[in-house]
């Protein structure tokens, strides 16, 4: 069972959260983004084998999004923060 530290609620079990995927994607600008930009944003992923920045929604708690840096080879949670936070550790 993963234990995710929500910046607002504290440490909670994973069952309170809903996974929302890769947190490193930048949504292209609606006016100026090219088709290629949108293709990359919608479909392509780095899918690293190691530290992965991702979003989890605390759906059974405060309902806010939490940014999590987690090692996907061990499931160790390295750091958590607000969605806009820059997380450190884990070598990525």
Partner 1 sequence: MTKYSIFSLARNALTEHRNWTEAWRSPDPKPAYDVIIIGAGGHGLGTAYYLARNHGITNVAVLEKGYLGGGNTGRNTTIVRANYLLEGNEHFYEHSLKLWEGMSQDLNFNVMFSQRGVINLAHSDPQVDAFQRRGNAMILNGSDAVFLNRAEVQARAPLLDCSDGARYPIKGGLLQPRAGTARHDAVAWGYARAADAAGVDIIQNCEVTGIDIEGGRVTSVQTTRGAIKAGKVGTAVAGHTGHVAAMAGLRLPIESHVLQAMVSEPVKPCLDTVITSGAVHCYISQSDKGELVMGGDLDFYNSYAQRGNFPSIEDVVASVISMFPAFGRLRLMRTWGGVMDMSMDGSPIISKTPIDGFYVNGGWCYGGFKATPGSAWVYAHTIAEDRPHALNECFHLSRFARGYTIDEHGSGPTPGAH
Site residues for partner 1 per CB under 8 A: 1-2, 14-15, 19, 21-22, 35-36, 39-40, 42-49, 52, 54, 70, 72-75
Residue closer to partner 1 by CB (options 20, 62) is 20
- DSSP state, residue 19: E
CB of 84 to partner 1, least distance (A): 21
Residue closer to partner 1 by CB (options 76, 88) is 76
Rounded distance, CA 85 to CA 72, Å?
20
> Structure tokens of 21?
């995927």
CB of 21 to partner 1, least distance (A): 8
CB of 20 to partner 1, least distance (A): 10
Burial class (CB in 10 A: 0-12, 13-18, 19+), 15: exposed
* Contact by Cβ (8 Å): 24, 68: no
């Amino acid at each position: 069972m993963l234990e995710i530290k929500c910046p607002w609620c504290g440490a909670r079990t994973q069952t309170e959260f809903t996974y929302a995927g890769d947190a490193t994607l930048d949504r292209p600008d609606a006016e100026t983004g090219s088709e290629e930009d949108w293709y990359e944003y919608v479909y392509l992923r780095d899918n690293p084998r190691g530290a992965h920045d991702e979003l989890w929604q605390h759906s059974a708690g405060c309902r806010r999004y939490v940014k999590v840096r987690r090692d996907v080879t061990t499931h160790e949670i390295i750091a958590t923060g607000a969605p806009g936070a820059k997380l450190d550790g884990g070598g990525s």
